[in-house]
Structure 1
């Protein structure tokens, strides 16, 4: 008989957690939700495909208790022939505990990984809001490349820093 478990040749006991980066979602919440359907009920019987404009904003802040709040703001405007069909704005937040992440990687963790976990819930809220406003089929937000947004933002900041 040996003192090392056959499942772990390094000798770690099953109760030990691997040391490395990680985070926990402690809470998720709707901070603000606005649904406008200004031309109802006429907007529910439109002919043609409306033009969709979508905006994405991300914000992360540290708290005194060591946790982080991450906000994902999605704004969706649909218009047809310059007339508003609907406008939905959602500010969806999460409270995260982040451990084992180097200071240099913290911003990417908060603005890429955390929003990835919030997004499916925010997407569902917008879908339900447009369905509840009477639109069929409900509006489904396409997947968002948060890493691409983060990289573009970093490049934009680098260009502005170089120009200054």
Structure 2
């Protein structure tokens, strides 16, 4: 079935991205050396952060996207604190061409989730007795490209 101009009816509809839900799937904060780790330290701790994005197709137009953030602060080989957060959202995406769907899910959806995950981490670190850890903004386009290149370099598995 087509419109009078030969295009499918949905072709004229604007793309839609709706957030249906947001939630913490998993949160862990460890402060293994307290109270000693809370004393003034001679130097700033070395902080290592890892961020990953995963997605599950829930239905034809709905996707669960999970932003996973892990971090650890160490000073002279001693762990000051560590955390793991899996923060997710359910997104409904309509009227988006198939070739644009994967980048939208893996770039725009985590970009929408990130400020909330950042706040949860800052609060958890502060509640652990440390100054709040404010994560720098993430280049989700760069992260997406990096992951696509890594997948392209992996040999095909049969």
Query: Which stretch shifts more, 118-127 or 153-162?
Result: 153-162
Deviations 1:4-33 (A, max 9, x none): xxxxxxxxxxxxxx7222200011000010
2:29 maps to which residue? 35
Question: If you compute each CA radius of gyration, which structure gives the higher value, 1 or 2?
Answer: 1
What is the root-mean-square deviation in Å for CA atoms of aligned residues?
Answer: 1.7
Give the secondary structure class of the aligned counterpart of 2:18. strand
Is 1:149 aligned to 2:138, yes or no? Answer: no
CA distance in 2, matches of 1:86, 1:158: 35
Using the size of structure 2 for normalisation, the TM-score is 0.86
Alignment partners' CA distance in 1, 2:101 and 2:83: 30
Query: What is the CA distance between 1:87 and its match in structure 2?
Result: 0.2
**Structure 1 length as normaliser, TM-score?**
0.83
Q: Would you say 1:23 and 2:24 are equivalent positions?
A: no
Query: Of 51, 54, 58, which residue of structure 2 is paired with 1:56?
Result: 51
Matched length: 145
Q: How does 1:79-118 map to 2 (within 5 A)?
A: 79-118=74-113
* 1:140 equivalent in alignment to 2:144: no
Gaps of 5+ in 2: 1-11
1:119 to 111, 114, 122: 114
CA deviation digits over 1:119-146, x for unaligned, max 9? 000000000000000102x111111000
Q: Which whole-Å deviations, capped at 9, do the CAs of 1:86-109 have from their partners, x for residues lacking one? A: 001100000100011111111101
